Amino acid sequence: MSLMHKFLGAAAAAALSAGAALAEPALIFDLGGKFDKSFNEAAFGGATRWAEETGNTFREIELQSEAQREQALRRFAEAGANPIVMTGFAFGNVLSEVAPDYPDTKFAIIDMVVDAPNVRSVVFNEHEGSYLVGMMAAQASKSGTVGFIGGMDIPLIRKFACGYVQGVKAVNPDATVIQNMTGTTPAAWNDPVKGSELTKAQIAQGADVVYAAAGGTGVGVLQTAADEGILSVGVDSNQNHLHSGKVLTSMMKRVDNAVYEAMTAGVDLETGFNVMGVANGGIDYAMDEHNAALVSADMKASVDGAKEKIASGELAVHDYMSDNTCPVE
Amino acid sequence: MDKMPKWADIVLIPLISLFLAAFFSALVILAIGENPIAALKLMVDGALMRSAGWGYTLYYATNFIFTGLAVSVAFHARLFNIGGEGQAMLGGLGVALACLYIDWPHWSLAILGASVGAACFGALWALIPAYLQAKRGSHIVITTIMFNFIAAAILNYVLVELLRPVGAMDPASAKFPEAVHLPTFQDMFSTEGSKLFRGAPANVTFFLALLACLVVWVLIWKTRLGYEIRAFGESETAAKYAGISPVRITVIAMLISGALAGMMSVNTTMGESERLILNSTEGAGFIGIAVALMGRNHPFGVLLAAILFGFLYQGGAELALWTSIPRELIVVIQALVILFTGALDNMVREPLEKLFIAMRRRNA
């Protein structure tokens, strides 16, 4: 009885999903996979939060191959999913070709700009957040040497690095910033062992605060920093809790909020260019009980001061991707 | 004569293997609380009941035809070329260089040029292991699989350091010019009223793959070289005695094999992504081994097996889209098919052979 019931239920669900309009949102994860402890997982968190609060469901797919990018977009659009949210710059090319074919469907792409009337492009001012955590790192450092460990060597990560260096130099112009990238391929996003090795190398060069902007690789950076007794800075999600009392702060890039907002807006999603920065809460540094003891009142006051100035436009942090150069080393 | 009838060898054994694979896959799906019959229906609907589904199935099949043929040609000389992945990667480089740096007036010329580029790069990558096998006795299985890693590293370097446009984030080359875009099935078969194969990546390269099947069939069974390759494969000492040079046959068989594997990239790089990307091969070089095993190293068998695997890939994508079956489990299902049709072939073959012999004795 129950097996038969199950069978009918599943067959009905399959029949429904294959043809009829869904009008539920869809989320497409990049090849890195859903549970990367960082970027994709933040997106999943936002979608889950939306689903729990509204009681609705959403479609999702983790890609297996490059050819599936276009396929997933088209199939979801044809099935009536709306809006369709995707994570990662790699969708840019495909989306610009697919979006005009489905004018009634709204798309949201994170970390990339696609110019089409039915696309919402969400980009983050990572350089602003990196500037703030750079200031904190410089103030927490006793040796005057701090480290940066990036994931894949792409302009986006150099944007993190450049903002960080600017923040460090704003506090201590004589400080040294050691920079390392984990690799040049997407594998660099998920190589905690290499992250750990780079951290040790930076410690050997005198760094006593390291900032990891490296996805899953950052887990190794934070672990080694905690083991070796130096401070670290997390990225994307709030990672303070990973090593309580050892993580100075986290540069929070609220991908979850971007996904949550897109799904909440639903079919009325406002399209166009959407910049998430310090000013609108899309970028922030993390404060909680895990790092309260590490951040002095002076430190917090100076960072909050800078935050206000950035938000008001009084202080402009240079964006590496605007001209592919960084004014400071 | 202690052999099975031919129809049992080429039809019955693959069918039984396939059935076993389907059975165990169904158990796996059942174990995670999904309905295997609904899942199968979803796969068939998504891969074979819509023209766009066929467009994807045949796109994947095109890749597998090339790599399957590559493995079978080498296998006729009893060389186990498991370096199809690396040869296809470098073939992609050949395609990209031909498309980016030569000003083609029309796609029909460009596909010829790109095929030559892909075949040359693929063949070159197979030449070194072939030479080492023929002259130094380094085992081809070890060298070809190691060359896969070297190919990945080379491609990585070329894309990141040399071909990537300034400011781009993807490790990928620039987009190929408009003139070299291959017509897709959508361009070829859609009429004013009906849009067929919408958005599907299958393209004119599929016909190139069919042509390759024919050429390989002629080569292996109708030419002197093909005879020499088969003779060498059956018995090296006999071939030597007949005046066939082992070095020459090893190198030539591997060159053809590498060229075929390389030509896979015409489909992925020129037909689909229209730029060179880092992971364009996506394991097709390894699937080619299973395709060749299942197709009994015959071009027609390879064609059928390639379409089956294309169906599995496309059907797997449909499962990922519309069910909560995680992608790791879809890989498990694909692996089960490879396991039963390829690796566990003898598990079905031996009892079946005994059965046929027993039946023949009773009749005699």
Is A20:A80 a contact under the CB 8 Å cutoff?
Answer: yes
Compute the residue count for chain B.
364
Q: Does A319 touch chain B (CB under 8 A)?
A: no
Q: What is the DSSP letter of B347?
A: H
Which of B277, B317, B326 faces A66 most closely, judged by CB atoms?
A: B277
d(C-alpha B68, C-alpha B213), whole Å: 10
> pLDDT of B296-346, one tens digit each?
899 999 999 999 999 988 988 888 888 878 777 878 887 888 788 777 777
d(C-alpha B9, C-alpha B7), whole Å: 5
Closest by CA to B201, choosing from B11, B46, B353, B63, is B63
Question: In Å, how far are B100, B115, B149, B160 from B156, measured between CA atoms?
Answer: 18, 22, 11, 6
Widest pairwise Cα distance in chain A: 75
**Cβ-defined contact of A71 to B56 (cutoff 8 Å):** yes
Q: Does A320 touch chain B (CB under 8 A)?
A: no
If you average pLDDT over every residue of chain B, what do you get?
Answer: 89
Question: For residue B325, what is the nearest residue in chain A, using CA coordinates?
Answer: A61
Q: Which CATH class is domain A126-252+296-323?
A: alpha beta
The whole-number pLDDT of residue B2 equals 58
**Cβ-defined contact of B35 to A67 (cutoff 8 Å):** no
Which two three-digit tokens encode residue B19? Answer: 């059935």
**Cβ-defined contact of B321 to A18 (cutoff 8 Å):** no
Q: So where are chain B's domains?
A: 63-306
**Cβ-defined contact of A76 to B317 (cutoff 8 Å):** no
pTM, rounded to two decimals:
0.82
Q: Does A18 touch chain B (CB under 8 A)?
A: yes
What does DSSP say about strands A247-253 and A176-183: parallel, antiparallel, or unpaired?
A: unpaired
Mutation choice for A interface testing from B287, B321, B332, B333 by most A CBs within 10 A: B321
> pLDDT of B1-57, one tens digit each?
456 777 777 788 888 888 898 899 899 889 888 888 998 898 888 888 888 889 999
A177 beta partners: A146
**CATH 3.40.50.2300 applies to domain A2-124+259-264:** yes
Which two three-digit tokens encode residue A278? Answer: 């310090």
Checking ipTM against 0.95, whether it exceeds it is no
Closest by CA to B113, choosing from B124, B122, B104, is B104
Task: Measure in Å the smallest separation between the Cα of B75 and chain A Cα atoms.
Answer: 28
Question: For residue A154, what is the nearest residue in chain B, using CA coordinates?
Answer: B169
Q: So where are chain A's domains?
A: 2-124+259-264, 126-252+296-323
Question: In Å, how far are A275, B221, B296, B342, B345 from B339, measured between CA atoms?
Answer: 49, 29, 15, 5, 8
Give chain B positions within 8 Å (CB) of A61. Answer: 320-321
Percent of chain B beyond pLDDT 70?
99
Residue B231 has pLDDT above 80, yes or no: yes
> pLDDT of A88-129, one tens digit each?
888 988 898 899 989 999 999 998 889 899 999 999 999 999
**Cβ-defined contact of A7 to B38 (cutoff 8 Å):** yes
**Cβ-defined contact of A18 to B42 (cutoff 8 Å):** yes
Q: In 10 A of CB A305, how many CB atoms?
A: 12
Burial (CB count <10 Å: 0-12, 13-18, 19+), residue A298: exposed
Give chain B positions within 8 Å (CB) of A14. Answer: 35, 38-39, 41-42, 322-323
Which of B199, B268, B273 faces A74 most closely, judged by CB atoms?
A: B199
d(C-alpha A144, C-alpha B159), whole Å: 37
Question: For residue A64, what is the nearest residue in chain B, using CA coordinates?
Answer: B327
Which two three-digit tokens encode residue B82? Answer: 């498991």
Q: In sequence order, what are the residues at sequence separation of 6 or more whose Cβ sits closer than 8 angstroms to the Cβ of residue B353?
A: B2, B3, B4
Q: What is the DSSP letter of B242?
A: T
Query: pLDDT digit of tens for each residue in chain A (329 aa)?
Result: 344 444 444 444 444 444 444 478 999 998 767 877 678 888 999 999 999 999 999 998 888 777 788 889 988 998 889 899 998 888 988 898 899 989 999 999 998 889 899 999 999 999 999 999 999 999 999 999 999 999 988 888 999 999 999 999 999 999 999 999 998 877 888 889 999 999 999 999 999 999 999 888 999 999 999 999 999 999 988 889 999 999 999 999 999 999 999 999 888 888 888 899 998 888 999 999 999 999 999 999 999 999 999 999 899 999 988 888 888 87
**Cβ-defined contact of A59 to B321 (cutoff 8 Å):** yes
